[in-house]
Structure formats: C-alpha cells, structure tokens
Amino acid sequence: MSRREKIWWWLGGALIVVYCLFPIAWIVSLSLKAPSDLNTGGFLPSALSWENYDLILSGGASDLFLPALRNSFGICLIATAISCLLAMFAAYAIARLDFPGKKVILSTALIVAIFPIISIVTPLFNLWRNIGLYDTWPGLIIPYLSLTLPISIWTMSAFFREIPWEMEQAAQVDGATTWQAFRKVIVPLAAPGVFTTAIIAFFIAWNDFLYGISLTSTSAARPVPAAIGLFSGESQFVEPTGAIAAAAVVVTIPVILLVLLFQRRIVAGLTNGAVKG
Amino acid sequence: MASIEIKNIVKQYGDGFPAVNDVSLDIADGEFMILVGPSGCGKSTLLRMIVGLEDITSGDMIIGGKKVNDLAPRDRNLSMVFQNYALYPHMTVFENIAFPLRLAKMPDDEVRRRVTEASDVLELKDHLERKPANLSGGQRQRVAMGRAIVRQAEAFLFDEPLSNLDAKLRGQMRTEISRLQRRLGITTVYVTHDQTEAMTLGDRVCVLRKGKIQQVASPRELYEQPVNLFVAGFIGSPPMNFLPATPKGDRLETPFGEIVLDQKRAAAVAGHDLLLVGIRPEYFEDASLVDEAKRPLGSVFTARVDVTEWLGDSQFAYIPYEAPESIQTHLRELSRELDAEELRTQAIVSIDSTSRIREGREAQFWLDSRKVHVFDPETGDNLTRDAEAGAELTRMATQDRVEQIEEVRAASVGAA
C-alpha cells in the first residue's frame, strides 16, 4: 500500500469511528453535566459533576435503578445460559444428523426471530397474569428465550458445521461413546462458537425494552431499560435527562467489558491444526 | 491382534448405488493388506465398514472370530489413522496420544508409561507438550500414528495416511510405517491410491474397481501375473503398454513387428481375431545395447521415437503407433477408469540411460517376448495368465511374512 493510500484508509477509518462513537460520547458528556448545565448548549460539561451518578446509585432514583440492574443481570444471564445449552444440542443435531423436519426447524427458528414482538406482547400480558408469571423472573426469561434461541441455533450450527466430522469419528474409534465424543472433543472445539453465541444472546436480552416494560410492574422483575423509561425529574419541570444518560452509561459498561474480555476467544480459530493446514 | 474376515459385504447407499459390491476378503493375523484402486472404487468405504463408521447393507464382518456387524466403533477395538489425521487441536500431543487410554480409564502412571513408549518409537519425545497446530505435517502424521499404536488394538486401519505429505516426507513415513508394522506384527489394512505405497508396503494387495475385487495377491504376482487389463494397467509406473495384435499361428502381429509366443500361450490365444498385447516398459531395450546371448529371446523392430526423457538412472522413449478404432475406444475407456490421462496410442519404453537414441529419429529396439501378456479386449481377461506361477509368488510372500512375524514374537517373548 502506498503512503497516500494509507493516509486515505486512516482518514476513512477515523471518520467511521467518529460517526459511530459520537452518540456515545454525547451520552457520557451528558451524564457528567449538572442539571443546570444541561441546556447551555456546549458539548463538554462546563464543570464535571457526579451528581447524576449519585442520584441513580445512592440517591432518589437508586431504589428504581439498583433492583433493575440486579434483575437485568439475573434474567439475562439465566436466559443466555439456557438458550446456549439448548441451542448447543439443537445445533449439533442440525449440523450432524439427517432427520426429517430439519429444514422445518431451521425455518421456524427464522420465522420466530423475525416475528414482530409487539403483536404478541398483549396476549402474553393477559396469559402471564392468568397463570401467575406476570412480574416474575421466569415471566421474562421465557420470552427472552424466544428472542435468543433462534439466533443461537443459527450461529452455533454454523460453528458446528465447521468442525471436521473426522474429529468425532476418530474419538469414536478411540473408544468414546457418542456423548463422550461430544463432551470431550466437539464442545471444546466449539467453545469459540459458544462464546460468540452467548455474547450475542446476552446483548439481545440485555437490550430488550418492550417485554421489560409490558410484563413487569414492580421492581420484582423490572429490567434496566424499562426502569430508565420510568425515571422522572425531581419536579415536573425538571427533565431526568442527566440521570437517564448516567444510567445508560452504567448499563453499557458490562457490554463493553464482555466484548473486551472474550474477544480473544471469539477471534481465536481453535480448529487450527486439527487437520492438515 | 486378530484376523479380519470379510464375507460377501455389500454397501448400498440410499439411491441404491452399490459402493461396495459382494466383497469377500480374508486378512490373516499380522498381515499387511492394501486396498487400492482409482477414486470411487469403494476402498475407503470398505475400510470404514471394517472400523464401524459405515453401516453394512449385507454380508458379515468377522474380526478375531467374532461377528461385529452391529458393534459400535468403540466396541471393535481397532485403531485408525485418518487421511487428515483428525488430531484434537485443543489437547497437547501427550493428551492426543493418551486419549484412547484416558477413555479406557487407565491409571495415570500406566498412561504415562505407554505414551512415553509410543513417543519414543515415533521420535515425538520433544514435542509432547506442544499443540498439534504448531507441528509440521510429518509430526502431525506421527502423532496420529502414536494415537493408533498406544493401545493394544486388534488391528490398524490406515485411510490414505500419506496423501497430505510432500513427496520426500511420504517416502520417509512409508518406510517408517513398514518398519513399525513389522515390529509390532499387527494386522493392518491400508487404503491408498498410490501404487508405490501399495507395492512396497503390502504383504498382499487387493485391487478394487467399482466396488468389486479384481485381484488379491502379493505385489509381485499383481505385477507379473495380472488377472485382467484393469489390474495390468493399474499396477506399474509408467504403466503397461497395450498394443493391438492379431494372432497368426504361434505369432502375434503387432505395430512393432511379430512376437513369437511359446506353445502354451499360443494355444491360449487361438481363436481370437483381435487382441491386446501387454508389454511393460522395461521389457524393451535399445537393440544396440542388448547382450548377444539375450537377443534371440525377443524380437527386434524399428520405430520412430517421438520424445525421450533422460532421468540419470534411467531413460524413457515414447513411440507412437497406429491402432484400429475399436482398440482405441477400449484403451480410452480403460484410461478413464484408471483415472489416467487420456492415453495416446504411444508406447512408453524404458531404455538404458547410456543409450544414444535421439528424438525424432528411427531407432532399433529389442523386445523381450518371454513375459508379454495377451488380453481379450472385449472382456479384459488375461488369456496368458499363469495362475500357478502367480500363486507361487504369493505363497513365497506369505512364507516371508509368517517367518518375520514369528521372529518378532520370539524376540518380544525373549525381551519379556
């Protein structure tokens, strides 16, 4: 690459980064502004203020935000774990076995994934109230599974397909049962795929707003996005913008941490050297 | 260690295509059996049926006197080396080799002892803690073999284990496999499409074509007494030359002059109008370099040389010839079946490397008529095959093998 080309690439890259990160920077800057500073029109806060963070973590909004944070973590982690486990078995079957109805399962999963949530939220609301799942953790975990399972099955079956079948056959010849071959050879090899899938599934559940706001009413199960929507100012004349921005920053942190933590595992091609390279 | 008996095995796929068709084969205890043939002949399918990775449509698979048709691979106690090695990339070399022992719940110190022993044999000692991704092709190949020899399996199965290595390494590993098999004296079935491997490794070679056995014999018998055109064309490199011939009394008229047959062979070919005579390249020689004593045993002819290839230790000359249309069709069909390039009607002739025969000139060649074979172009059968001489060759090979195995077993008893 010539020097000039390099410069253009850098320039283009920088432009895209700015475009993507600008809203985030804005939120961060908003969260650090004092309420009186909100409408001054400057991008950077005129004085750093931790007031908004105080408000949501220990102040007046904390009894709305902190339980919601706990709910979000609990519900999303459980939903992700269940969906990964189920998707692992389903994807293995789809990638390895030839059974009638394989196409039906895959296309059903796709249809579920593209089905508009808004159309089932109202019936679900009634159903959950009748059977006592309304405003409970399982009441959110189950709908979250319907969001995360389809994409998990699709991504994981793609990963399983990449694993050479000989691995498993070799294990069987070496004396492994089908289950042992799956557990000792296929699962470790599919680990990067499982991690990737888990992260995607976690994001989907973490970002949900519609189910969260419709199927909960108290802090018993209300997740963060729904809680943020319920923030209110100290009086009706004060906007909760600063508190909302601070809450948004707080919920973004775990997502960024997750990606940074696992990006090595995601990228690492663990199958390198399995077969002739 | 065990014998493997294959009885009337058939493998039919869903669409009814028989990949393996009524194959029967006895592999003796300690024998090195090669399955060879062009791609799609069913050799790999047959191997996978032995190990249990492929269902058997009909017939019996008997290993060590026990019918194993319905046993899972892990209950057959066979070990296999895959074409692409199938090493477990998340385990170290040590754990890769130890994997079958771990599955058998063997105690740790026993595992360590056995793996160390296997890695000594295969010169992998320095690499035990490395991951397969960091090994060279040859080392990976040896790890795959280590995993196969580490437990006391009934038999070794190899599925084209050397086809992913470069030519030099392939030669090395070939001798290594041969040495290992002799040393362990264990029954081995080896699938390959490479005939050098087939000829050098096998006690016996089974040539398959479209799912059917053509001939099972020692490499020498295959080479000298092939049962039909297919085997004759498949075994040998450069391949056997097939010339059109018309019989006239005890002579055959060919594009390269007349070939005199002995009485037995003349009787065998009588009654046919058009024949194919099969002559190996080394049965030819530059006429000016033939011993006077040998000269009367063959015939001399003159032909124009198209191309010569000088290789230092040997030299090949290509001589084009005319063939009738019907013969050309047969030859084309044969070369397609053998996965060979389109055979032009030219003979490949091996001459002494000191010969000064030049390209594009006429030259005199001598042809040893004692060992030529005559084939019926319609059926492909070898009309002049001497079954007894062939059987004798295979008997001798078997004798050698039995003696070798006895030596090995005596030595290991002595050592123990």
Locate B61 and state its tokens.
């698979």
Residues from chain A contacting residue B72 (CB–CB below 8 Å): 172, 177
Please tell me the predicted confidence (pLDDT) of residue B295: 85
CB atoms within 10 A of CB B134: 12
At A75, is the pLDDT very low, low, confident or very high (cuts 50, 70, 90)? very high
Residue A272: is its pLDDT beyond 50? Answer: no
CB–CB of B122/B115 below 8 Å?
A: no
**Contact status, residue A15 vs residue A209, Cβ threshold 8 Å:** no
Q: What is the pLDDT of residue A34?
A: 83
Asked whether the beta carbons of residue B88 and residue A185 sit closer than 8 angstroms, the reply is yes
Give chain B positions within 8 Å (CB) of A174.
74, 79, 99-100, 103, 147
How far A118 CA sits from the closest chain B CA (Å)? 44
Distance from CA of A153 to the nearest CA of B (A): 23
Q: Provide the pLDDT for residue B343.
A: 62
Q: Which tokens go with A91?
A: 């994807």
Across the A:B interface, residue pairs with CB atoms under 8 Å apart total 84
Q: What is the pLDDT of residues A160-194, one digit of tens each?
A: 888 888 888 999 999 999 899 989 998 888 887 88
Contacts of residue B86 in chain A, CB cutoff 8 Å? Answer: 164, 166-167, 169-170, 274-275
Residue A268's pLDDT is 52
| Other residues' Cβ atoms within 10 Å of the Cβ of residue B265 | 21
DSSP string computed for B221-248: HHHHS-SBHHHHHHSSSSPPEEEEEEEE
pLDDT digits (tens, 9 = 90+) for A29-49: 988 888 777 777 778 888 888
Residue A136 lies in a domain: yes
Is the pLDDT at A83 greater than 90? The verdict is yes
Nearest CA in chain A to B50: A173
CB B159 within 8 A of CB B197: no
User: Number of folded domains in chain A?
Assistant: 1
The pLDDT confidence band at residue A269, using thresholds 50, 70 and 90, is: very low
- Rounded distance between C-alpha atoms, residue B237 and residue B36, angstroms: 15
A271 pLDDT above the threshold of 80: no
Nearest Cα neighbor of B344 from B335, B352, B353 is B335
- Is the model's pLDDT at A203 over the cut of 80? yes
Instruction: Confirm or reject contact between B279 and chain A (CB < 8 A).
Output: no
- pLDDT grade, residue A6 (50/70/90)? very high
Does the beta carbon of A174 lie under 8 angstroms from any beta carbon of chain B? yes
Q: Write the residue in A176, A185, A188 that is nearest to B74 by C-beta.
A: A176
Closest Cα in chain A to B138: A276
Alpha helices in B302-370 (DSSP H): 325-337
**CB atoms near residue A28 (< 10 Å):** 16
pLDDT at A277: 37
Query: For B3-12, how does the pLDDT look when each residue is reduced to its tens digit (9 = 90+)?
Result: 999 999 999 9
Strand partners, B286: B365
Residue A163 lies inside a defined structural domain of this protein? yes
B238 preceded by a cis bond (ω within 30 of 0): yes
Least Cα distance to B255 among B347, B317, B334 occurs for B347
A234: confidence class by pLDDT, cuts 50, 70, 90:
low
Instruction: Write the residue in B72, B89, B147 that is nearest to A189 by C-beta.
Output: B89
B169 and chain A in contact, CB less than 8 A: no
- Contact criterion met (CB < 8 Å) for A177 and B74: yes
Q: Where are the CATH 3.40.50.300 domain residues in chain B?
A: 4-224
Walk along chain B (416 residues) and give the pLDDT tens digit of each residue: 789 999 999 999 888 888 999 999 999 988 999 999 888 889 999 999 999 999 999 999 999 999 999 999 999 999 999 988 889 988 999 999 999 999 999 999 999 999 999 898 888 889 999 999 889 888 998 999 999 999 888 999 999 988 888 888 888 889 889 888 888 888 999 999 888 899 999 899 999 999 999 999 999 999 999 999 999 988 888 889 988 888 888 888 888 888 888 888 888 888 888 888 999 999 999 988 888 888 888 888 899 999 999 998 889 999 988 888 888 888 888 888 887 766 668 889 999 988 888 888 888 999 888 888 999 988 889 988 888 888 888 898 888 888 888 887 787 766 55
Does B78 sit within 8 Å of A174, measured CB to CB? no
Q: What interhelical angle do A187-207 and A241-267 show, nearest 10?
A: 170
Chain A environment of B103 (Cβ under 8 Å): 174-176, 180
Cα–Cα distance for residue pair A205/A74, rounded to 1 Å: 11
Q: Do B72 and A174 touch (CB under 8 A)?
A: no
**Is there a domain that residue A162 lies in?**
yes
Q: What values do phi and psi take at B197, rounded to 5?
A: -60, -45
Residue A132 belongs to what domain range?
Answer: 62-230
Cβ contact (<8 Å) for A171 and B133? no
**Pair B258, B251: CB distance under 8 Å:** yes
Percent share of chain A, pLDDT over 70: 92
CATH classification code of B4-224:
3.40.50.300
Predicted pLDDT of residue B403: 86
Q: Is residue A214 part of a domain?
A: yes
A274: nearest CB among B51, B89, B99: B89
Nearest residue to B39 via CA among B222, B210, B228, B219: B210
**pLDDT at res. A237:** 66
List the single residue in B with minimal CA-CA distance to A177: B74
**A133 domain residue, yes or no:** yes
- Give me the pLDDT at residue A230, please: 83
Residue A78, H or E segment: helix A62-96
> Three-state secondary structure along B244-306?
EEEEECCEEEECCEEEECCHHHHHHHCCCCCEEEEECHHHEEEHHHCCCCCHHHEEEEEEECC
Q: What is the pLDDT of residue A265?
A: 62
* Nearest residue of chain B to residue A187 (CA atoms): B90
Closest to A137 in 3D by CA, of A47, A77, A227, A210: A77
Q: Per the domain annotation, does A2 fall within a domain?
A: no
Structure tokens at B57: 């449509």
Q: Does B44 touch chain A (CB under 8 A)?
A: no
Arithmetic mean of pLDDT, A128-136 = 92
Q: Which chain A positions have a beta carbon within 8 Å of B131's beta carbon?
A: 273
Q: How far apart are CA A267 and CA B71, in angstroms?
A: 40
With beta carbons less than 8 A apart as the criterion, state whether B203 and B171 touch.
no
Residue corresponding to tokens 């003696």? B403
- Contact between residue B190 and residue B44 where contact means Cβ atoms under 8 Å apart: no
Residue B381 DSSP code: B
ipTM higher than 0.95?
Answer: no
Residue A58 predicted with pLDDT over 80: yes
Beta carbons of A275 and B73 less than 8 Å apart: no
Q: Determine the pLDDT at residue A236.
A: 65
